[in-house]
Amino acid sequence: MIEYDTKRWAQIVFRVHGSVLPRIASRVSVVIIVAAGLTYGRMALGWDVPTSTTLHALVGVALGLLLVFRTNSSYDRFWEGRILIGAMVNNTRDLARQTASYLADSPEEVRHRIGHYIIALFASIRRSLRRERDAPELNELLNDDEREQMLHTSAPPLLVARWLSDQLAAEAKAGRLPEERLRMIDGGISDLVDQWGGAERILKTPVPFAYAHHIKGFLMIFCLTAPLALLKSMGWYTPLGAAIIAYGLYGIDEIGIEIEEPFGYDVNDLPMDGIGETIARNVSDILGLQEDRVVPQPQTGKAGVYQ
């Protein structure tokens, strides 16, 4: 995720990295070429090109509503994803706090193992949401047998959650964790699994194809025919006007596409690697893992403190 100062207007406007401009440049160029051809034909060759603003005025309202709905839906998905990931941060911190306080009589090795499981749980959730199987950051968190099991399961986060529950259940059986506290801690694990499921729901419920197909087709037709509505009033400046229209409308659509799946590596996606690093640091601090702290390094972007 790109960090920027919202008050520095010029820096935002003239910054290309992180914008949708590179992704829509080819489509805008096609519109400019079509507009230039029609303009040259009418102005220089005398073609009888039909011009009318009525049609575009009528359908432009419908297209605008479709684009607004599309962008709002995408941002709702983005924001819901941010809420779920933020809740995961809070739950992992709470699990570490409860482990440190309620398992004070347990061996240090046990508390450290639980801490590794907590860090590994979010790391496996992050990889799952990115549809990745390889998770090198787990090499220092899990033993060889656990890593082997991770390779053969369809739901790695669920397996890590089970190991975490098994470890807590073993402490309860040994008399070091009262039953009521076990239920309290296990509720936090259940919340993490629920939040992972909510994030998966976003990931696996794309915008219906019929809607995506229709809006893209409608948008393409509107932009390619926009010069017909501009020729009479703009003359030789028609390609410029068409480019502005294409940039605005294609850009709105592309923004919706980029933010509708917020867990990936796009520059406008959620800072999943930085959040994972924050969780690792917090859990390590609370459970005293400084001597063997494992902080997964971000794969892309800049690491930072997030919640």
**pLDDT digit string, tens, across residues 59-68:** 888 999 999 9
Whole-model pTM over 0.75:
yes
In three-state secondary structure terms, 96 is: helix
* 61-87 burial: b if 16+ Cβ within 10 Å, else e: eebeebbeebbeebeebbeebbebbeb
106, 133 Cβ separation under 8 angstroms: no
pLDDT in tens, the chain (307 residues): 778 777 888 888 888 888 899 999 999 999 999 999 999 998 888 888 888 888 888 888 899 999 998 899 999 999 999 999 999 999 999 999 999 999 999 999 999 999 999 999 999 999 999 999 888 889 989 999 999 999 899 999 999 999 999 999 999 999 999 999 999 999 999 999 999 999 999 999 988 899 889 999 999 999 999 999 999 889 999 999 999 999 999 999 999 999 999 999 999 999 999 999 999 999 999 998 864 445 454 444 443 333 4
pLDDT at site 262: 94
Residue 142's nearest CA partner among 182, 166, 115, 179 is 115
141: DSSP letter: T
Residue 228 in tokens: 């017909």
Percentage of the chain beyond pLDDT 90 is 71
Over residues 241-265, the pLDDT tens digits come to: 999 999 999 999 999 999 999 999 9
State the Cα–Cα distance between residues 95 and 102, nearest whole angstrom. 10
Q: Which of 264, 257, 265 is nearest to 129 (CA)?
A: 264
Find out whether 249 and 221 touch, Cβ atoms under 8 Å: no
Whether 250 and 224 have beta carbons less than 8 Å apart is answered as: no
